[in-house]
Amino acid sequence: MEPEFITPNSQRYSVRPFPAYRHLPFTNAHPFLDQDGHSYGEKLTPVDSFTTQNWHHCDEYLYSIDLFNHGFWWEAHERLKYVSIGAGRESEIGQFVQGLIQIAAALLKHFMQEETGASTLAELGAKRLQTFTGLYLGIDVDTLLAQLQDCLKTADAKYPQIHLVIS
């Protein structure tokens, strides 16, 4: 089963290729730990710098958004961890990225029909993002949160996507 998105074939922000498969925990090979994993042997490291001024030049962030937008939520959440670390986990930006991580995990749980986990993670992620208004790191926060709520209402809802505003 493939997830259905609000905008199929949405805009890409990075030229990096997608993984060979969408990781679903306990269903297929762990991307980094299993020899058959799509990213086996790859070592993720924190980004050097991630600020409100340079986010649109951070390929790891842009690639993470691409992954999120195409249903690679586990992969997006893993990569966003290293963006958060680069920004400083306790910083304002780090907290925002932590919210994105929780939302990606919530969508993965929803896709896997684990609604209790999806609801809890969505609530935690939304709480982190609700402190931001308008655009933040290129994301229309209100639109993302509205799409998230709509998605979690039913099993056959369309999944949210992030359309970055790069000025």
pLDDT reported for residue 156:
80
Taking the model in full, what pTM does it have? 0.95
Confidence of residue 12 (pLDDT cuts 50, 70, 90): very high
φ/ψ of residue 152, rounded to 5: -75, -10
Residue 70, domain member (yes or no)? yes
Residue 44, domain member (yes or no)? no
Residue 3, domain member (yes or no)? no
Residue 64, domain member (yes or no)? yes
Whole-number percent of the chain with pLDDT over 90: 83
CATH code for the domain in which residue 137 is found = 1.10.3450.10
pLDDT tens for each residue of 112-145: 999 999 999 999 999 999 999 899 999 999 999 9
**How many domains in the chain?**
1
Residue 26, domain member (yes or no)? no
Residue 82, domain member (yes or no)? yes
Domain that holds residue 100: 55-153
- Cβ–Cβ under 8 Å, residues 60 and 85: no
